[in-house]
Structure 1
Amino acid sequence: MTDRIHVPAQRSHRHHWRRDVVELAALFCAVAVADGIANLVAHGPRGPVLLVASAVALLVTAAFHTWWARRHSHAPPPDAAEPAFAGAAAGAASVHGLGSAPAAGTGTGTGPAAPGAQAAATGGASPHAVLWRMRTTVRDEPGSLAALCGALARSGADILTLQTHPLPEGGTVDEFLLRAPRELPSAELTRSIARAGGHSTWIERADAHDLVDTPTRVLGLATRTALDAAELPLALRQLLGRCTIHSIPATTLSGRPNAGADAPVEGVLEATVMRLRDPSGGAITVERPYLPFTPTEFARARALVELDARLGPRVPRSQDVLTLPEGNEITVRRADGADLPAARAMHDRCSDRTLSLRYHGPVADADRYLGHLLSPRFGRTLAATTASGRMVALGHLLWDGDETEVALLIEDDWQRRGIGSELLRRLIAMAVEARCDSVYAVTQASNTGMVAAMRGLGLPLDYQIEEGTLVITARLDAARTAAGPPHGLPRAQHAYEGREQQH
């Protein structure tokens, strides 16, 4: 997609005998003139005076020429630039993120510039600029990228970053991060790209997170995945943009093979659906109906999954020791599959009412959910244990496609002590860190403890009752500005103090 400029080679001029004669005659004439001047200066009556006068005349002429050049500049006016050169400069400046200058028109250029062109000329520094992410498909031929850049420059958009994704069937997907005037609608950008040869164009608003270059973002996601197995679904979502991710376990709760859980090692890419083998068993399905995946995106996603498979199960081992109002100490830490026996023992100590409020089904099936809930692939789990190591509470943050669910289970003897509120606060902080828009809790209206804990978050809540089930949704927009570290200590307004320990 690079422009190729073919410069024809100049033909070598054939030497002719007449040219040689002319050059030789000019040489003899120059020698004769020099000899005459030398004789006049050496043997003439006023030779030295003539030589000095010639030198003075040369100095005066040089001084006059310098003065005249400084007073009368011969530089062409800015508006006299060639249109083709101005358009090329605008495209080049836009590609390198230096601000896009509008191409010169066919007129004299004395009229006022358009608002979009003025914003582009200042490099998008206007406070009224917005960010856009745009992706379009073009033919893989010389000049196609230059045409897109020129169209964006004429629209007043500044190209901050650019990625190209070659397609196996031919063509290239070009992905831009644009800075454009706020008054420039997205439909106008799409029409400009269409006139320049782009098709299947997709555009959406971007934010400051998209300003991070792709290698840095991929390395950051790989680091997060290496530290915590629960980060893989989040890393895939941030890597691929707005998409839906489903983790399909290898077997159902009843032990039967799960349909759709078999994926080849190399994965499968089918336009808008990506299927990858889950290292912990089963498959990971990524769907993005509005935009097909490119082979480059598929390769990046597969690399993250392979990294997760090589590192094996892992969960951060940091923990907080908290002091309850009555003086008892509990430890809050991350939990995983290794805590399955302790979680089953806690189930045995819980009453049937507590289990039914948590699982909304037969109490006898409660233990079968634990393998799914404690797996890092489906979310994050916090456990509260006593000083003797006895598990008394579990809090779950579960990835549910595009949504996120929170759930709590507190042993009967440890309820009404603030443990549930503390676990919920930490789960919400994790959701904010994962850039979730909202979280929801499925409970019953009679579960006053869960309702009170959700209200205690101080976030906007939505309530919906479906067939006796209460769904409480908390919007996290307000929490993003005030949330502290996800694993930080409790705030002063909580009823107990904490001290952090690292292992």
Structure 2
Amino acid sequence: MALWRIRATVDDRPGYLAVLTASLALRAVNILAVQVHTTEAGAVDDFLVDAPESMTEADLIAAVERGRGRDSWVSRAEARGLADQPTRALALANRLVRDPEALGDVLRTMLGASSVTWRPAPTTATAGRAADTMRLPDPAGGCYDVVRREPSFTPAEFARAQALVELATAVSRRSGDHATLLLADGAELVLRPAGADDLGALRAMLDRCSAPEGTVGAFGRSVPATMVRLRRLVHQPRGLLLVAVESGGTGDGDRIVGVGQLVVEGAVGEVALLVEDVWRRRGVGTALLRRLAAHAGRSGQVALVAHVAADDLGILRTLARLRRPGSVDRDGELMSVTVPLVDRPIDVAAPTPATTT
């Protein structure tokens, strides 16, 4: 017996797949695995089969055509093709989590591509698919051109490739957002994105903090209301929640001493900061704010807005350290400070302070 891979298109109608599999079975072809890709032209069925040694490529194509299949493609397969496809995809995703720079090799392996070429494409380049090529963005810049002459790429394969690109982008972003902060007094903190496992440590930090002095935005509210907001932001794909952690701890044992949040509101990002009492006026808030501003700029926001108490001179000085003067609107005891991120006039309305329920 010999392993073959067969791909063919059949009409997406009840019973047509059964006719095709019966035609293969009549020729002693054993189907080991099958995937169905939905396309506009019909259902593309991808088989891994075990066929008698005497069967040729032409014999298999003839069997497919007798089973009402069309646009057939047949190729010898290797034993590694026996691996369960979801398991194989998870293994490749695990490799990306460990090494997002391996995206090109992962795409080649998953798609069986003849070539994967990186090109310094402009930032306006978008993902796209043709019969034998794909263009996928590289999270580090540029794009990948993926080529496979046969069989033609299907929408499902394009979606899988995009999912891997998105995973590599997320891993790269999280890795890039990790940094060690050395303070002027010699203390070290780690700045990193927060995760769901950090909610307990965030609640503990909020409980340790004194009143609203040293806060920007939503952190001036009650602890329960703030926790609702933080819990939502941890799972928000476009926003960012950064924490400052005492160096040396990992996992559940981390002690969080500062937190900065970015909530995306269209073209404007709303920022909020809170630093634990003993860590204030040591540069922690400034470091968090600068990283939030850099992330907002990379994500396409044109400005940041912060809602602060009018008498909080320390926070106003922190915002001023970005050295991007913008507009200041006062409403009673509350000031809304807009910080531009682009060197052009900003024609957007600053968001009002968010509410929690």
Short-chain TM bin: 0.3 to 0.5
| Higher share in strand | 2
Q: Give the TM-score of the pair, scaled to structure 1.
A: 0.34
Greater length-normalized contact order (CA 8 Å, ≥ 6 residues apart): 2
> Highest CA radius of gyration, 1 or 2?
1
Q: Give the TM-score of the pair, scaled to structure 2.
A: 0.47
